[in-house]
C-alpha cells in the first residue's frame, strides 16, 4: 500500500501499531494516509506528540460495536490469520479483540495467511468463505518484550510485594497493559489456584502458568480456562497459547464487558496509571497534553471488579517520573494541565506505589489525602500536605507523613490465626489510620477504656491523635494495630504501644476490643512489640496496670516469669527485663 503511489486519502484504524510506525516520519506517507489509533504504543509516542497520528479515546469494549453500527465505517478489513485447516477454518490467532468485529463489519476482507500465527481456541475461527482476498506471507509475530532498567526492576519488586498482600488465593486476575502490571506478577508465585480473565495475555503470566499457580480451578465464569482477547509478548508466549485449550479467546466487547467481568467472583483487577491526584482521580492515557497510551480496559475492569462478589481493583504506578528538570511526583495535588481523567475518584479502590498501599474506596477526601501522601515519594510528602491544606482538603494542623522510606516496617508485619479460626494482621499504625484508630477507641466499653487510661476518658479527638503521632518514629516509639477483615475492608480490633522512657527501657501498653478478648491477642501484641523493641536496642519493658486488671497481669506473668512488681495499693508497676526470658521461638 505504501509503495503504491496511486493510493491517496486512505484512513487506517488500528489498535496497536507496529509496522506503520516505520513510516510516520515520511511526509509523503502522511500526505496520503491518515492514522487513527485506539491505543498509542511506545513506537508511536513520538509521532503522537507532534500530531502525526490521531488518537481515539474510547473503551476497548465499545470498539466492536462502533464497527458494527457503522459509527466507524470500514470499507476493508486487513487481518492476519493462520493457514486454513482441512475444513476451511483459519484462526485469528493472538488478536481476536477488535479484529473479529472488523472482519464482520467490512464488506471486503483481506487476510494475510501467516504460518507463524498461532491457532487459538475460543471464538477465534473465521472460514475462508468470509475472506475475499488472501496474501500468503510468513513472518514472526510482533515481539513486544523490552528490557527493564535497574530502577524499574527495583520498583517492580517493591510494588509486587505490596500487590501480593492484596491478592488472595483463588482470585481471578485481570492484568492491564504496560510493563509494571506484568512485572509484579512474578511476586505472586506463592499464591494458589489463581484464574485469569483479562484483555491481554503477556509473558508475565508464563512463570505462574508453568508453576501451576494459575490453574483457573476457582473461577466462577468459564472455569479451567484463561479468558482473553489478545496475546502480546515473546515467541515463547505465542508457542504456549498455540492450540492450547486452556486459552479461550473472545472479542473485547465480551471480555471487557463489566457485566461479564462481574460474573467472576473475587475478580482482582491490576492496572497502571501515569498520574493520580490527592482525591483519587486517575490519568492513564496522557502525560499532561501529550498522549501516551490509551484508556484501554481500566474503567471496565474497575467497575466489573466493584460488581464482583469479593472483587477488588488495584492501580499501580511508580511514585515519580524523571523529567528534564529532575524527579516529578506522580501523586499530585491536582492532575497536570491537559491530563486526561480516565478513572473517576468514585471508581478507585486501591492505589499502590513502591512506598505502600492506599485504600481509597469509601474514604473521605481528608482520608484519601493522607493515604496517598503516605505512599508518595518521601521527598514530596510534606509539600503535598501543604498543597492539600491550601485547597481545604485537610485540617490546618495536619502533620505530614514521615519523610523517611518506611520499607523496614514491612518486617514488623505479622499474620496470626486466632483460637476462633479468624486471622489478625499486626502492623504499625500509620497516619492514614487516624479515623479507624479513633473509631476503635469509641467502640470500647467504659471499663476497658478505664483499665487502659486509668480514668474515664471520653474524647479521642483529632488534636489528641495528632499529639500522639508527633512522637512516633517507629524505633524509639511504636504503635502496633491488629486488623481483621470485615467484608471488603479491615477493622482495627487491638492496639499496642511502647514508648521510650530512658535507660533502654520502654513503657508498654495495649488494649483489645471487647469482642476479641480471651483469644490471645494481647499475648501476640506483647511478643511482637518485644521483638521490635529488641531490634531497636531496648532491654526491658515497664508497664503500669490497675490491681483489678487480672487478665493483663496474667499476660505479663506468662511472658515474663522473672518480672519485678512495685505495688502501691491500687496500681502495680511491673518491670520486665528481656534478658531474663528463656530462649524461645528463635529469639
Which CATH number belongs to the domain containing residue 52 in this structure?
Answer: 3.40.1080.10
Ramachandran quadrant class, 338 (left: phi over 0; alpha: psi -120 to 50; beta: rest) = left
CA distances from 5 to 23, 108, 180, 296, 298 (A): 14, 21, 42, 34, 40
C-alpha torsion sign, points 404, 405, 411, 417: positive
Q: Output the CA angle 96-98-102, nearest 5 degrees.
A: 105
Domain ranges, residue 323? 150-390
Q: 121 and 157 share a domain?
A: no
Closest CA to 79 of 53, 55, 108: 108
Q: 371 and 492 share a domain?
A: no
pLDDT of 471 reads 66
Burial class (CB in 10 A: 0-12, 13-18, 19+), 190: exposed
Q: Residue 336, Cβ neighbours under 10 Å: how many?
A: 17
d(CA 31, CA 10): 10
Residue where a domain stops, chosen among 324, 357, 390 = 390
Mean pLDDT by 10 residues, the chain (587 residues): 90 86 87 90 78 88 95 96 97 97 97 98 97 97 83 93 95 90 92 97 95 98 98 95 98 97 97 94 82 80 96 96 91 90 92 96 94 97 96 92 93 90 92 89 86 78 76 90 84 95 95 91 95 95 91 90 84 87 47
Burial class (CB in 10 A: 0-12, 13-18, 19+), 351: buried
Q: Which residues pair with 35 in a beta bridge?
A: 12
Q: 89 and 154 share a domain?
A: no
Q: 132 and 155 share a domain?
A: no
C-alpha cell at 452: 487502659
Give 580's Cβ-side CA count (13 Å radius): 13
Say if 335 falls within a structural domain: yes
d(CA 87, CA 341): 48
CATH number at residue 256: 3.40.1080.20
For residues 139 and 117, the answer to whether their CB atoms sit within 8 Å is: no
Say if 404 falls within a structural domain: no
Say if 557 falls within a structural domain: yes
Q: 174 and 272 share a domain?
A: yes
CATH number at residue 469: 3.40.630.30
Counting the structural domains of the chain, the total is 3
Q: What is the DSSP letter of 475?
A: S
Burial class (CB in 10 A: 0-12, 13-18, 19+), 441: buried
d(CA 344, CA 280): 7
Q: 454 and 370 share a domain?
A: no
Closest CA to 330 of 282, 400, 290, 387: 282
Q: What is the DSSP letter of 314?
A: E
Q: 156 and 130 share a domain?
A: no
Q: 177 and 219 share a domain?
A: yes
Q: 432 and 324 share a domain?
A: no
Say if 2 falls within a structural domain: no
Say if 3 falls within a structural domain: no
C-alpha torsion sign, points 49, 50, 53, 58: positive
Q: 203 and 74 share a domain?
A: no
pLDDT of 581 reads 55
Angle (deg, nearest 10), helices 365-375 and 381-390 = 160
Q: 209 and 272 share a domain?
A: yes
CA distances from 311 to 22, 307, 308, 347 (A): 42, 7, 5, 13
Say if 70 falls within a structural domain: yes
Residue where a domain stops, chosen among 334, 359, 390 = 390
Say if 336 falls within a structural domain: yes
Residue where a domain stops, chosen among 101, 136, 171 = 136
The owner of cell 481493583 is 313
C-alpha cell at 250: 473472545
Say if 117 falls within a structural domain: yes
Q: 364 and 486 share a domain?
A: no
Amino acid at each position: 500500500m505504501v509503495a503504491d503511489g496511486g493510493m491517496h486519502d486512505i484512513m487506517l484504524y488500528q489498535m496497536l501499531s507496529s509496522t506503520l510506525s516505520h513510516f510516520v516520519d515520511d511526509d509523503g506517507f502522511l500526505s496520503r494516509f491518515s492514522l487513527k489509533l485506539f491505543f498509542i504504543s511506545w513506537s508511536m509516542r513520538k509521532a503522537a506528540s507532534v500530531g502525526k497520528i490521531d488518537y481515539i479515546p474510547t473503551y476497548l469494549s465499545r470498539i466492536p460495536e462502533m464497527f458494527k453500527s457503522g459509527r466507524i465505517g470500514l470499507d476493508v478489513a486487513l487481518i492476519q490469520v493462520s493457514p486454513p485447516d482441512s475444513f476451511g477454518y483459519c484462526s485469528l490467532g493472538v488478536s481476536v479483540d477488535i479484529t473479529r468485529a472488523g472482519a464482520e463489519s467490512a464488506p471486503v476482507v483481506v487476510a494475510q495467511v501467516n504460518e507463524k500465527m498461532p491457532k487459538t481456541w475460543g471464538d477465534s475461527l473465521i472460514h475462508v468463505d468470509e475472506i475475499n482476498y488472501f496474501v500468503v506471507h510468513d513472518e514472526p509475530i510482533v515481539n513486544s518484550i523490552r528490557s527493564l532498567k535497574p530502577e524499574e526492576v527495583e520498583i517492580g519488586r517493591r510494588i509486587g510485594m505490596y500487590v501480593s498482600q492484596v491478592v488472595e488465593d483463588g482470585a481471578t486476575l485481570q492484568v492491564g497493559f504496560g510493563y509494571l502490571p506484568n512485572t509484579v506478577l512474578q511476586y505472586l508465585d506463592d499464591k494458589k489456584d489463581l484464574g485469569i480473565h483479562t484483555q491481554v495475555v503477556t509473558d508475565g503470566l508464563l512463570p505462574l502458568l508453568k508453576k501451576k499457580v494459575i490453574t483457573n480451578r476457582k473461577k466462577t465464569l468459564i472455569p479451567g480456562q484463561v479468558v482473553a482477547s489478545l496475546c502480546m509478548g515473546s515467541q515463547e508466549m505465542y508457542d504456549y497459547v498455540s492450540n492450547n485449550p486452556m486459552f479461550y479467546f473472545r472479542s473485547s466487547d465480551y471480555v471487557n464487558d463489566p457485566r461479564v467481568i462481574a460474573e467472576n467472583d473475587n475478580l482482582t483487577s491490576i492496572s497502571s496509571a501515569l498520574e493520580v491526584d490527592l482525591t483519587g482521580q486517575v490519568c492513564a492515557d496522557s502525560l499532561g497534553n501529550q498522549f501516551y497510551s490509551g484508556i484501554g480496559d481500566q474503567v471496565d475492569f474497575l467497575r466489573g471488579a466493584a460488581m464482583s462478589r469479593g472483587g477488588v481493583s488495584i492501580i499501580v504506578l511508580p511514585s515519580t517520573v524523571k523529567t528534564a528538570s529532575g524527579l516529578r511526583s506522580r501523586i499530585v495535588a491536582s492532575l497536570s494541565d491537559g491530563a486526561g481523567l480516565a478513572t473517576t475518584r468514585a471508581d478507585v479502590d486501591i492505589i499502590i506505589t513502591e512506598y505502600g498501599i492506599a485504600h481509597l474506596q469509601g474514604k473521605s477526601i481528608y482520608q484519601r489525602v493522607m493515604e496517598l501522601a503516605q505512599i508518595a515519594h518521601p521527598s514530596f510528602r510534606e509539600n503535598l500536605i501543604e498543597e492539600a491544606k491550601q485547597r481545604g482538603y485537610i485540617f490546618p494542623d495536619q502533620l505530614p507523613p514521615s519523610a523517611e522510606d518506611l520499607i523496614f516496617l514491612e518486617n514488623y508485619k505479622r499474620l496470626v490465626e486466632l483460637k476462633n479460626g479468624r486471622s489478625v494482621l499486626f502492623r504499625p499504625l500509620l497516619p492514614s489510620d487516624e479515623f479507624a484508630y479513633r473509631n476503635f477507641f469509641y467502640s470500647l466499653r467504659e471499663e476497658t477504656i478505664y483499665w487502659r487510661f486509668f480514668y474515664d476518658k471520653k474524647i479521642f479527638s483529632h488534636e489528641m491523635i495528632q499529639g500522639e503521632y508527633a512522637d512516633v518514629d517507629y524505633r524509639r516509639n511504636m504503635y502496633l494495630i491488629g486488623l481483621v477483615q470485615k467484608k471488603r475492608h479491615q477493622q482495627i480490633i487491638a492496639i499496642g504501644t511502647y514508648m521510650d522512657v530512658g535507660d533502654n527501657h520502654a513503657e508498654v501498653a495495649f488494649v483489645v476490643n471487647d469482642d476479641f478478648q480471651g483469644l490471645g491477642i494481647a499475648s501476640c501484641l506483647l511478643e511482637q512489640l518485644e521483638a521490635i523493641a529488641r531490634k531497636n536496642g531496648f532491654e526491658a519493658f515497664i508497664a503500669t496496670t490497675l490491681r483489678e486488671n487480672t487478665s493483663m497481669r496474667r499476660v505479663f506473668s506468662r511472658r515474663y516469669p522473672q518480672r519485678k512488681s512495685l505495688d502501691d495499693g491500687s496500681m502495680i508497676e511491673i518491670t520486665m527485663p528481656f534478658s531474663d526470658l528463656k530462649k524461645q521461638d528463635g529469639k
